[in-house]
Structure 1
Amino acid sequence: MTALLDVVLPVFLVLGAGYVAVWRGLFSDAGVDGLMVFTQKFAVPCLLFAAISTLDLGQSFDWRLLLSYYSGSTLCFILGILGARFVFGRSLPDSVAIGFVALFANSVLLGLPIMERAYGAEALVPNYAIISIHAPFCYLLGITTMEIAIAQSREPLKLVRTVGKAIFSNALMIGIILGFIVNLSGMTLPGVVDEALGLMIRAALPAALFGLGGVLYRYRPEGDAKVIAFVCVLSLLVHPAVAYGLGWGVVGLSSEQLRGAVVTAAMAPGVNAYLFANMYGAAKRVAASAVLIGTALTVLTASAWLVLLP
């Protein structure tokens, strides 16, 4: 257990340093915003671009890997909506937003550093395969469902524009698309560009974790304890359990693929889940608190899942 905490805790110590720095006034809100703009619009897209541009697409995109991860993701989205609506009596827009919180795992800012510390940088290939379609899948499913729920889906072209804008204005998605273009075209980047990318990449995850800690300070938990607990159970236990069960017991993933699917699935809801709730003005308090509490609980739950993995 000590060895596992040695893997997980450094990630959360960096995140906690950002939280404490903002809490104690050592780092301003404006500084956090600037740091998150740098990481989410520049450094992390560079990381994803470099990873996707060099992936062996034939081996990385195994339908069994994607099925194992996204079956659990979709199930949690559906269970989140149904539970919020029929167990907790929330409105339909609130229910969809709560389902989206259970759907959108923090695959980049938490999943990548924990996976890298646990198994090494060479083990990240399955993670990148999952991440490459994560934003399109989640936004397509979430926005389409929400637009139907709020009865604005009677204009199909408007729905397509709404979904397309959410996906293709996302800097992470742009980095992924450019990575695919370079990969499929066989282009070779000039050495000086590759070196510059390397500098950005090395800054990406530590800076993103520190900034995420500062962002989470804003989302201090308040109220809706039962709904928040429900979302955390879906995100931290049900999703990785489905990925593990399908990957190991049904489709027969390799050990490397199983690790990537389960570790990514075991991550807390990402900040984008709150941004989605905020965009529609639905279940914002649940989304914010679930992101914060789920991230804290990931210290324990991620360690437990690492014990079960080969």
Structure 2
Amino acid sequence: METLISVILPVFLLIGFGYTAAWRGFFSASNVDGLMRYASNFAVPVLLFRAISEIDLGSEFDLTMMASFYAGAFICFSAGMLGARFLFGRDWEDATAIGFICLFSNSVLLGLAVTERAFGTDALAGNYALISIHAPFCYGLGITVMEVMRARHGPKRTIVPTVLKAMFSNALIIGIGLGFAVNITGIHVPDALSSVVDLMAASALPAALFGVGGVLFRYRPEGDMRIILFCCGISLILHPAITWTLGTLGGLSVDSFRSAVLTSTMAPGINVYLFASIYGRAQRIAASTVLIATAVSILSIWLWLFLIP
């Protein structure tokens, strides 16, 4: 119970404040949109830029940790897509969007916040290593499969340009890419600019979590409840179970194991709704899954924390 109160509840209470503010009309829809635009297009990319630019690439990029998490993510994407197609009879485009819902953990807004509360700031190095390729991996996989499905009866030459354009116009990927550039080249960031980066990075998680609460207020548990529960089960149970198993077999260190497993326990993030909206596919399922899985994850994360050493 102490873990629930001290680690998990503060994160979800902040989301709840945002939800309540939107519900009671103290924070309008345009306010929520503006805050989320600031968080997702500026503050969070800057946070990732700072983290990636300072991380020790040699020691923190544990290949076993990355493989444990991303093998689980790929299996969950495949399970979600194939389940949607063959269990629920969705067409391939809908099935791909549903696979993306099962793929994309909320590694930044919830993963960083919960890990920091549970194990301290020093435990975040593994999280940042995972996050550094999270958006490129997930969007790369989702967009590629979706464009292949859309083009299977048309010209194939548009697939690669479409994927590259979508990837390199994403603010998260730009922030991560610039962080890698600074890290690898050793470019010195001027002190004044570094101070600005620190200020924006400090605002990223509180602003984003509050904004997520406002966004979740718009969502309603609509659509096929069986598919929604199917997606929740894959995200909250299957992904951490696979990551746990592979991490144990791979002999991960305690810190790497914590980062990989705890990140994999996170509910799907807002990005799954954005992906569904881009293609106009499975939007109600995406929205409802984010809402329900986020609420259920309060308890599921607590249970996984009891098991993590």
- Give your verdict on TM over 0.5: yes
What letter corresponds to residue 285 of structure 1 in structure 2? R
Q: Per the alignment, in what secondary structure is the counterpart of residue 187 of structure 2?
A: coil
List aligned pairs for 1:283-302, cutoff 5 A. 283-302=282-301
How many residue pairs get aligned? The number is: 309
Aligned to 1:27: 27
Which is further off, 158-167 or 289-298? Answer: 158-167
Which is further off, 81-90 or 148-157? Answer: 148-157
How far does the alpha carbon of each residue in 1:118-139 deviate from its partner, in whole angstroms, 9 at most, with x for none? 1111111111111111111111
Deviation at 1:148, TM superposition (A): 1.9
Q: What fraction of aligned residue pairs are identical, expressed as a percent?
A: 56
How far does the alpha carbon of each residue in 1:35-88 deviate from its partner, in whole angstroms, 9 at most, with x for none? 011111111111101100011001111210110000110001111011111111
2:275 paired with 1:276:
yes
CA distance in 2, matches of 1:121, 1:157: 46
Which is further off, 1-10 or 121-130? Answer: 1-10
CA distance in 2, matches of 1:212, 1:169: 22
Aligned to 1:75: 75
List aligned pairs for 1:1-310, cutoff 5 A. 1-151=1-151, 155-248=155-248, 250-310=249-309
Deviation at 1:157, TM superposition (A): 4.0
Q: Per the alignment, in what secondary structure is the counterpart of residue 130 of structure 2?
A: helix
How far does the alpha carbon of each residue in 1:216-237 deviate from its partner, in whole angstroms, 9 at most, with x for none? 1111111311100000000001
Deviation at 1:293, TM superposition (A): 0.7
TM-score (norm 2): 0.97
Residues 15 and 211 of structure 1 are in contact (CA less than 8 Å); yes or no, is this contact kept in structure 2? yes
Residues 104 and 268 of structure 2 are in contact (CA less than 8 Å); yes or no, is this contact kept in structure 1? yes
How far does the alpha carbon of each residue in 1:193-213 deviate from its partner, in whole angstroms, 9 at most, with x for none? 221111111111000000011
CA distance in 1, matches of 2:151, 2:45: 34
Q: Which runs of 5+ in 2 are unaligned?
A: none
Which is further off, 18-27 or 216-225? Answer: 216-225
CA distance in 2, matches of 1:167, 1:258: 29
Deviation at 1:151, TM superposition (A): 2.7
Residues 4 and 306 of structure 1 are in contact (CA less than 8 Å); yes or no, is this contact kept in structure 2? no
Q: Per the alignment, in what secondary structure is the counterpart of residue 252 of structure 1?
A: coil
Which is further off, 217-226 or 236-245? Answer: 217-226
Q: Per the alignment, in what secondary structure is the counterpart of residue 109 of structure 2?
A: coil
CA distance in 1, matches of 2:189, 2:222: 49
Deviation at 1:153, TM superposition (A): 7.8
CA distance in 2, matches of 1:153, 1:6: 53
CA distance in 2, matches of 1:206, 1:244: 29
Q: Which runs of 5+ in 1 are unaligned?
A: none
Q: Per the alignment, in what secondary structure is the counterpart of residue 289 of structure 1?
A: helix
What letter corresponds to residue 151 of structure 2 in structure 1? A
Deviation at 1:5, TM superposition (A): 3.1
Deviation at 1:182, TM superposition (A): 0.6
CA distance in 2, matches of 1:67, 1:238: 16
